[in-house]
Amino acid sequence: MSNEQLGTESKIEVRTTADGSPTLYVPALDEHYHSHHGAAQESRHVFIEAGLMPLLAAGLGQPDEGPVRILEIGLGTGLNALLTLEAAIAAQAIIVYDGYETTPLSPAIVAALASQWEDNELLKIAFEQLHATPWNETLIIDEVRFLTKIQESIQAAALPAAHYNLIYFDAFAPEKQPELWTEDVFAKLYAAAAPGAVLVSYCAQGQFRRNLRAAGWLTEKLPGPPGKREMTRARKPA
């Protein structure tokens, strides 16, 4: 999100979604950060179950295989990062997570979102640490899990080559942020992806998939979360 698109942060509204988890609504874009059918269940379905879990099941993240290196486009509220942390701890997996965001949330909005994690002490503390850590600095969760939140557009970022195993593409919808859904952006992500890397997104738009394929990605459609018929998973050839 650009500041120009977002407008004043006082216009952002905290809304409760159908599964009881909160999301944010941006009136200036008429857009939610997550599905109003259920923010947490959408995140788990798209990014954890379709993206992270197959890599963990294949052994990535274990000491002999090295960490799962994750890139998120659209860190937002930190929901995907926290659910990733939860899954990585359960699997005793090593993760290194880079989350890109251009519009940080205000302390008031962060405070309004905190109640989501009241029943999980570990994620409650991680949520507080995530939002308290200065931008462009690394949060060390423990000895084997690291998260860096980066305040920069992905177009301007200098990404390492052939580095990431998993990309969470969680930008606002193509009609809201068309500059992020281009062949050039997906070519940049392809160059930053390690051989065999996976990219997942809630979006199943035809032009999105065509842009991915033009950049070299192999795409597949998967069943979407509640409220969406399909989602997209893409792979870089091994």
Partners of 120 in the β-ladder: none
Q: What is the pLDDT of residues 103-131, one digit of tens each?
A: 889 999 999 999 989 999 999 999 999 99
Q: What torsion, rounded to 10 degrees, do the Cα atoms 19, 22, 24, 25 define?
A: 50
- Is 22 a member of any domain? no
DSSP letter assigned to residue 134: P
Q: How many helices (H) and strands (E) does the chain have?
A: 8, 11
What does DSSP say about strands 193-201 and 13-16: parallel, antiparallel, or unpaired?
A: unpaired
- Identify the top-confidence range among 30-39, 51-60, 136-145: 51-60
Q: Is the pLDDT of residue 7 over 50?
A: no
Q: Which domain holds residue 178?
A: 38-235
Residue 148 tokens, joined: 């860096």
pLDDT > 90: percent of the chain: 78
Structure token pair of residue 118: 């009241």
How far from chain centre, in Å, is Cα 205? 18
- Tally of CB atoms within 10 A around 235: 15
The residue whose two tokens read 């995907």 is 80
| Sequence-distant (≥ 6) Cβ neighbours of residue 78 within 8 angstroms | 99, 127, 130, 131
Assigned domain for 3 exists: no
Residue 31 included in any domain: no
- Cα–Cα distance for residue pair 112/122, rounded to 1 Å: 18
CA-nearest of 237, 177, 164, 234 to 204 is 234
**Domain for residue 89, yes or no?**
yes
Domain of residue 105, CATH code: 3.40.50.150
Q: Are strands 68-73 and 218-223 parallel, antiparallel or unpaired?
A: unpaired
Give the Å distances, CA to CA, from 19 to 6, 16, 54, 75.
26, 8, 25, 21
Tell me whether residue 210 is in a domain: yes
Classify residue 192 by burial, with Cβ atoms within 10 Å: 0-12, 13-18, 19+: buried
What's the chain's average pLDDT? 92
Q: Give the total number of structural domains in the chain.
A: 1
Is the predicted pLDDT of residue 238 greater than 70, yes or no?
Answer: yes
pTM for the complete prediction?
A: 0.91
Distance CA 5, CA 13 (A): 15
Is residue 171 in a domain? Answer: yes
Residue 49: pLDDT over 90: yes
Q: What integer pLDDT is reported at residue 143 of this predicted model?
A: 81
Bridge partners of 70, per DSSP, are: 97, 166
CA-closest candidate to residue 194, choices 215, 217, 234, 165: 165
pLDDT of residue 12: 85
**89-100 residue pLDDT tens:** 999 999 999 999
* Length reported for the chain: 238
Kindly tell me the sign of the dihedral angle through the C-alpha atoms of 103, 106, 111, 113.
negative
Q: What is the mean pLDDT of residues 60-72?
A: 96
Share of the chain above pLDDT 70, in %: 96
pLDDT in tens, 134-185: 999 999 988 889 999 999 999 999 999 999 999 999 999 999 999 999 999 9
**Is 15 within the bounds of a domain?**
no
pLDDT at 34 over 90: no
Residue 152 three-state SS: coil
In a domain, 16, yes or no: no
- Tens digits of per-residue pLDDT, 188-232? 999 999 999 999 999 999 999 999 999 999 999 999 999 899 999
The H or E element spanning position 130 is helix 121-132
